[in-house]
Amino acid sequence: MTEEQKKGSILVVGGGISGLTATLEAAEVGYEVFLVEKNPYLGGRVAQLKYYFPKLCPPTCGLEINFRRIKDNPRITFHTLAEVESISGSPGNYDVTVKLNPRYVNEKCTCCGDCTEVCETDIPNEFNFDINTTKGAYLPHEMAFPMRYVVSPRIIGTDDAKKCVEACKYDAIDLEMQPQTINLNVGAIIWATGWKPYDAAKIDNLGVQYPNVITNMMMERYAAINGPTQGKVLRPSDGQEISRIAFVQCAGSRDENHLPYCSYICCMASLKQATYVREQYPEAKIYIFYIDVRAPGQRYEKFYKNIKEDENIFLIKGKVAEVQEDPSSKDITVVAENAVTGEKVQETVEMAVLATGMVPNTADTKLPGDLKYDPDGFVVSDLAQGGMFATGCAVKPLDVISSNQHATGMALKAIQTLVSS
């Protein structure tokens, strides 16, 4: 990019696909951009996926390009383990304080992994939705960017942490790192704070208490090559291969008792995940229970059509409303009424995947800015006032392509604020 530096700077909060896109779109036309991300890596939810739909290519592909563009762009400054603490000012002139949490690992890290070798403490692996554990000194995931280890605050002050320091040949671990606060002055802020999966434990009739009932995001981790099973879909209770699986659509979405809205991506996600199973287990029978299959647009419709033609995939119109477990075999029986035939259907499968929906991260924790929210916690941007714009799944449930488009639009809105102030 050869554009000259333009006047004004933008803060992007959230380093998922929307935040990355907004950052790059604004920086590549010449604006200074600060990107802050609370995780120790960029890439957000997309980094946790095995494949994108509908192209079925791994997200690392698209993320790598974005990371390359970030590295190449001198106008982008990004901070991981960072959170916005406070904001004051008005459109065109915001003073922002950002807290940088210690990583305890500096830029000398070569990712040799010696610290992990000596560390004995196991901590839940959040990147894998706690399916497995990781050591107290760890790399968030194989494709993490920045490619640098992290020492968990959980082991700070323990002998384990000291062992890590001793094991590091490169003097890369610094247990004395303290939280820092930095001040930024920016003209516009883009909130790309993203989403989290709906807490399946709140759904009391879909068997979340059984080990062989998992969520769709857990399924991504099982299927992903850098996941807890190295990409092999195995059932959690005994690690056995599967021959029958059920997908339970609208697990908490389109439901006044949970999320009243459609989470938009879950139908395509389950259709996509059916292909994961299909690929690994050509004989496996796949049952998808749905209210309506929402595969919007010509490309998704085509994807759905191909799935429908698969003789091992059965689409049943009827929401699963009861799930049982056989205590000895740990098999799962899902119960629905087939609304086309009017008969009750019971399918016994080895595992069931709940297609849980999207909850904006802003549903529980409000952002430190003057923002409005809809009743479900999504941010409602005041486009007329300008200055602050939400994008991606902070605004509404979106797929990756729509997030990219939305983020590009919001980058333009942010630039308009800079230009007009």
Partner 1 sequence: MADSYLVEPDVKFVKQLKAMGGDTLKKCYQCATCSVVCPISPEERPFPRKEMIAAQWGLKDKLVGNMDVWLCHQCNDCSTYCPRGARPGDVLNAVRGMSITEYAWPSWLGRIVQDWRFFWLLLAIPVAFFLVLLGATGYLKIPDGEIEFAKFFPTLLVDIVFVPLATLWLPVTFGIGLSRFISAIHKNAVAEGKAKRKDVNVPDFLKSLVCTVPTVLGHSKFSQCTANKDRYVPHLLVFYSFIGLFVVTNAFFVALYILQVPGPYAQWNPFKILANVSAIALLVGVIMMIRNRIGNKDNASKTSYFDWYLLLLVLGLVLTGGLSELTRLAHLTTVAYPIYFAHLVFVFCLFAYLPYSKLAHLVYRTVAMAYSRYAGREPCE
Work out which of 256, 283, 309, 311 binds partner 1, going by CB under 8 A: 256
Residues 222, 358, 48, 64: is their CA dihedral positive or negative?
positive
Distance between CA 275 and CA 211 in Å, rounded?
A: 22
Work out which of 169, 202, 302, 344 binds partner 1, going by CB under 8 A: 344
Write down the least CB distance from residue 336 to partner 1, Å: 6
Work out which of 318, 386, 387, 397 binds partner 1, going by CB under 8 A: 318
Closer residue to partner 1, CB minimum distance, 9 or 356: 356
Residue keyed to tokens 């029958």: 244
Asked if residue 322 binds partner 1 (CB under 8 A), the reply is: yes
Name the segment binding partner 1 (CB under 8 A); options: 61-69, 176-184, 215-223, 341-349.
341-349
The CB density around residue 77, as the number of other CB atoms within 10 Å, is 17
Write down the least CB distance from residue 215 to partner 1, Å: 18
Task: With CA atoms as reference, report the closest residue to 197 among 385, 419, 44.
Answer: 44
Write down the least CB distance from residue 255 to partner 1, Å: 3
**x/- track of binding to partner 1 for residues 360-379 (CB under 8 A):** --------------------
Asked if residue 201 binds partner 1 (CB under 8 A), the reply is: no
Length of the chain: 421
Among positions 4-43, residues that touch partner 1 (CB under 8 A) are none
Contact between 193 and 45 (Cβ < 8 Å) = no
Work out which of 185, 205, 209, 329 binds partner 1, going by CB under 8 A: 205
Distance between CA 145 and CA 154 in Å, rounded?
A: 22
Asked if residue 294 binds partner 1 (CB under 8 A), the reply is: no
Closer residue to partner 1, CB minimum distance, 107 or 204: 204
Name the segment binding partner 1 (CB under 8 A); options: 79-87, 219-227, 238-246, 313-321.
313-321
The enclosing H or E element of 69 equals helix 59-72
| DSSP 8-state code for residue 148 | -
Mention every residue, 6+ apart, whose C-beta is less than 8 A from residue 282.
Answer: 312
Amino acid at 304: Y
| DSSP 8-state code for residue 5 | P
Q: Which residues would be at the binding site for partner 1 (CB under 8 A)?
A: 205, 250, 254-258, 291-292, 317-322, 335-339, 342-344
